[in-house]
Amino acid sequence: MEQKKELKRNLGVATAMALVVGCVIGSGVFFKPQAIYTATGGAPGLGMIAWVITGLASIAAALTFAEVAIMIPKTGGMVAYLEEIYNPVVGFLAGWVQTILFYPAMISALAVVCAQQAGLFIGDGFTVPLAIGIIILIILLNNLGSKVGGSIQVIFTVCKLIPLVLLMVFGFVKGSGANPIFSPMVGDGLSPAVVLGQLMVAILFAFEGWTGVGAIAGEMKNPSRDLPIAIVGGVSVIMGVYFIINIAYLWVIPASELATLTAPASAVALKVFGDIGGKIISVGIMISVFGACNGFVLSGSRVAYSLAAEGNFPFGRNLAKLNNAQVPTNSIILVGGIGCIYAISGQFNLLTDLAVFSSWTFYTLTFIGVMKLRKDRPDAVRTYKVPLYPIVPIIAVVSGVYVIINQLFMSGLQSTVLSVGSIIIMLVGLPVYTVVKKKKDKKKLQ
């Protein structure tokens, strides 16, 4: 009999927090200001407030998510959580959607925007092949071992913070500071209540990725201690960075002008550092996005591995294999390979919209799961509890429900079509689960 291999527990809190920060701070902080100030009609006030509101909602979600992650510290993240809280079908559908839609869409979107920034140096026309090349490189690096993938995450997280810090410091030093920051709230004729909903959906993409650390709990040295620190600490750092850098943007360029710029960070750099500044920041953006893309490959492949290891995914035996470096090489290739296919579209916003909606249904079920576990297992040992229970989980649940409703009914035809398509793919998972389960049951009988 071949000796069973197990994932090594060699990831610490620094790598886990770097995974949170690295997955989240990718492209949103550089590109979303345009969508934000377009929605506000060129007014800065509600845009700045929305960063805080959405950040606090994300912290509530992270605090809630952490309790489930600590109680069920298994590799696979939400798949394992939902399977144990509800039933195997819900867990499978979460893993199916994450493996087929969420992680590949995020990986491809980040690779596409990274390739677009590289176009400043090598010219246009290479976006799709370069994006595919970036994904293939990350696949190869992650196959060298979880320590390599984790080390890449730490290095690129540190590197990506350098241009952000430079923009914040020199934005305040060299910016005029004459532009309004918190007023007016919105442009003439706009409803703050309606605009706030649009802003939260846009900004939630910028916070996307903090749940990925739960997927590597099985490879952490001390998940009970390190996981809540990584999740909550990481999201708090992110909120602070986002808020400060957006003030720095406005310190240099008014909101009405940022609304017209597809790359506001580069525009601010041009104002602060001159012509060379734009290219310096473009390199920083490429580093930032590459690190985020690596994080999604690292965590996404563990979701596929978890399903396969339990025999709950097509071709499970192959996907559950570990290479000599003890990482799930075929699962890494699967998630990255689907990302390569999606990257052919070359559409950053389309891919991110698809990714966000495909994940939030299961995020919300995870938040609800905290309250369900409190009811079903009141005497269970909880080394970490959500503070201010049940207020914090309710905030997380309400935020999740709002995102789902907004994407389905309030964000335009394209958003509705993408959301319905995501639901259809999720439902396709039901017959896939039936086939896989029958095959698994047959093997047990044999």
pLDDT at 403: 80
What is the distance between the terminal CA atoms of the chain, rounded to a whole angstrom?
18
Amino acid identity for residue 178 in this structure: A
pLDDT at 174: 85
**Exposed (0-12), middle (13-18) or buried (19+): which is 88, by Cβ within 10 Å?**
middle
- Would you give per-residue pLDDT tens digits along the chain (446 residues)? 344 455 667 677 777 777 777 667 767 788 788 889 988 999 999 999 999 889 888 888 888 888 888 788 776 678 888 989 999 899 889 989 989 999 999 899 889 988 888 877 887 788 899 999 999 999 998 888 767 766 766 776 667 677 788 888 888 988 888 899 998 999 888 888 778 877 887 888 888 877 766 556 667 777 767 777 777 788 888 888 899 999 999 999 999 999 988 778 878 888 888 888 778 777 887 887 888 888 888 888 888 887 888 777 887 777 878 888 778 889 899 999 999 999 998 888 788 878 878 888 899 999 999 999 999 999 888 877 888 889 999 999 998 898 888 778 876 787 788 889 899 999 999 999 998 888 877 777 76
pLDDT at 340: 95
Q: Is 11 helix (H, G, I), strand (E, B) or coil?
A: strand
CA distances from 12 to 155, 229, 280 (A): 14, 11, 32
Q: Quote the tokens at residue 348.
A: 């950053």
CA distances from 188 to 31, 141, 191, 211, 435 (A): 24, 51, 9, 38, 56
Q: Which residue has the tokens 């997380």?
A: 396
CA distances from 316 to 224, 338, 410, 437 (A): 29, 17, 39, 12
Q: pTM score, two decimals?
A: 0.80
On whether the CB atoms of residues 295 and 110 are closer than 8 A, the answer is no
CA distance 74 to 76: 6
CA distance 29 to 205: 10
Region 13-376+388-437: CATH code: 1.20.1740.10
CA distance 413 to 431: 28
CA distance 295 to 213: 9
Q: Where are the domains of the chain?
A: 13-376+388-437
pLDDT at 107: 92
pLDDT at 162: 77
pLDDT at 272: 87
